[in-house]
Structure 1
Amino acid sequence: IARHLHTSIDALDYAVTAHGKPYLRHSTLAFNHSHSQDDYALAISDRVVDIGVDIESLNRKIRFDALAQHAFHPDEYACWKALDEDVRYWFKVWTTKEAILKAHGMGIRLDLNTLNTHMHPTSDQGQIVDDRLGIFAYQCFDLGAAMLCVAWRSDIGCGQFILPKIQIFRP
């Protein structure tokens, strides 16, 4: 972040919202970060606000069905089952939910099964419109060993799908 802002690390003035989302005082730079067992993701943008990111290692040991029953909207769960419980689809839904909630700033403070990502089996991007959260766009990236999703506050419609600049760094 300091490198992007052409300043020193010591000059960065961080604060957190009431729900714990970090932000920079005196800066319009939007940022969010996530880590998994082997990966780190940092999303930054000068163009969009309320950005969120989540990255998950695909080799995590998860009780997929139990967590899907708890966290997936019934439409997402039915699609996952119709896809023969495809692990990559599961991680697209999960990382999208996390990224959207992190972008909003509330974190996981609602019943995840009430948030429908409308995840398509073959598309890696989309929008959600939710009365509680507003409108968010998202883009998923299958990195082979990890799934990454970036989400940001958006307006409705394809013309409003302004993709922030995304750079992925892997060790």
Structure 2
Amino acid sequence: MMTIFTYPLAQVLLKNKTDFTDIRSFNLYKKNEIYQLRNKHLSQILNKEILNEDFSVTEWGKPYLTHDEELAFNHTHSQNNYALAISQSYADIGIDVEDLTRQVRYEALAKHAFHPNELYVWQLSDYSKEYWFKVWTTKEAVLKASGLGIRISLNELDTQVSLEQNMGQCHHAAIGTLQYQNFLFNNMMLTVAWVKCESESEKKWPNIEIVSH
């Protein structure tokens, strides 16, 4: 099972950029507020206080709980939303969220970051914005779950994202096989991914609960 907590970022950050003398101070404030929210949810699940010093990072910079490695988590934020995924069943998870209102250079980024198969399907979809964000968030979530981040070329990863389905799996020699599920709600695209488990008892698709605030 996985649980995903989502918040409007404005609910997490009670101050805005104009309350600070420089962008560095605002970014530090934002980071601290997000970490406090993450720690609060992890504390509730583990029934003990979790502080920033309770975390370590892997060789590739992915954070984990030093003394509670059985609890996997990953979080992300866009300009308008924050999301935190937690699981005690899957050891390697990743999550990404994007606002559908985000203005990007869709075609230029797609040509740079999409696998040829993804680019072909996007063109068949008449350049669907929803499909674009589905591919983008899947790439990000899959690479975060793998623990490698963007250390492989984005256009080498064929996520096999479907126009019709909101779940799937992909494979890359450097990261193995990962599965994912996409969610479209509240004007955002959210994707959570996890490393596929080969054991007989965990072949079923996980139950994913979304708790929106």
Q: TM-score, normalised by structure 2?
A: 0.75
What's 2:47 paired with?
6
**Distance of aligned partners of 1:12 and 1:162 in 2 relative to their CA distance in 1, 3 Å threshold:** farther
Task: Say whether residues 1:108 and 2:150 are aligned partners.
Answer: yes
Displacement of 1:9: 2.7
What's 2:205 paired with?
162
Please, what is the CA RMSD of the aligned residues?
A: 1.6
- Superimposed CA distance per residue, residues 46-78 of structure 1 (whole angstroms, 9 cap, x where no aligned partner): 001110000011111100000000000000001
1:133 aligned partner, one-letter code = I
What's 2:3 paired with?
none
Once residues 9 and 49 of structure 1 are traced to their aligned partners in structure 2, the CA distance between those partners, rounded to angstroms, is: 19
**Distance of aligned partners of 1:89 and 1:168 in 2 relative to their CA distance in 1, 3 Å threshold:** farther
Displacement of 1:165: 3.4
What's 1:25 paired with?
66
Once residues 209 and 81 of structure 2 are traced to their aligned partners in structure 1, the CA distance between those partners, rounded to angstroms, is: 16
What's 1:67 paired with?
109
Once residues 161 and 114 of structure 1 are traced to their aligned partners in structure 2, the CA distance between those partners, rounded to angstroms, is: 28
2:56 aligned partner, one-letter code = A
What's 1:99 paired with?
141
What's 2:166 paired with?
124
What's 2:88 paired with?
46
Once residues 101 and 55 of structure 2 are traced to their aligned partners in structure 1, the CA distance between those partners, rounded to angstroms, is: 33
The structure richer in helix per residue is 2
Unaligned runs of 5+ in 1: none
**Distance of aligned partners of 1:164 and 1:25 in 2 relative to their CA distance in 1, 3 Å threshold:** farther
Unaligned runs of 5+ in 2: 1-41
| Contact kept? 1:50, 1:104, Cα under 8 Å | yes
Displacement of 1:12: 6.6
What's 2:179 paired with?
137
User: Percent sequence identity over matched residues?
Assistant: 46
Once residues 188 and 211 of structure 2 are traced to their aligned partners in structure 1, the CA distance between those partners, rounded to angstroms, is: 12
Q: Decide which of 119, 140, 151 is 1:77's aligned counterpart.
A: 119
| Contact kept? 1:43, 1:166, Cα under 8 Å | no
Partner SS state of residue 166, structure 1: strand
- Superimposed CA distance per residue, residues 114-142 of structure 1 (whole angstroms, 9 cap, x where no aligned partner): 00001111100001122111111100000
Displacement of 1:168: 3.5
| Contact kept? 1:73, 1:112, Cα under 8 Å | yes
Once residues 181 and 61 of structure 2 are traced to their aligned partners in structure 1, the CA distance between those partners, rounded to angstroms, is: 24
Q: How many correspondences in the alignment?
A: 168
Asked which structure has the greater CA Rg, the reply is: 2
Once residues 158 and 96 of structure 2 are traced to their aligned partners in structure 1, the CA distance between those partners, rounded to angstroms, is: 17
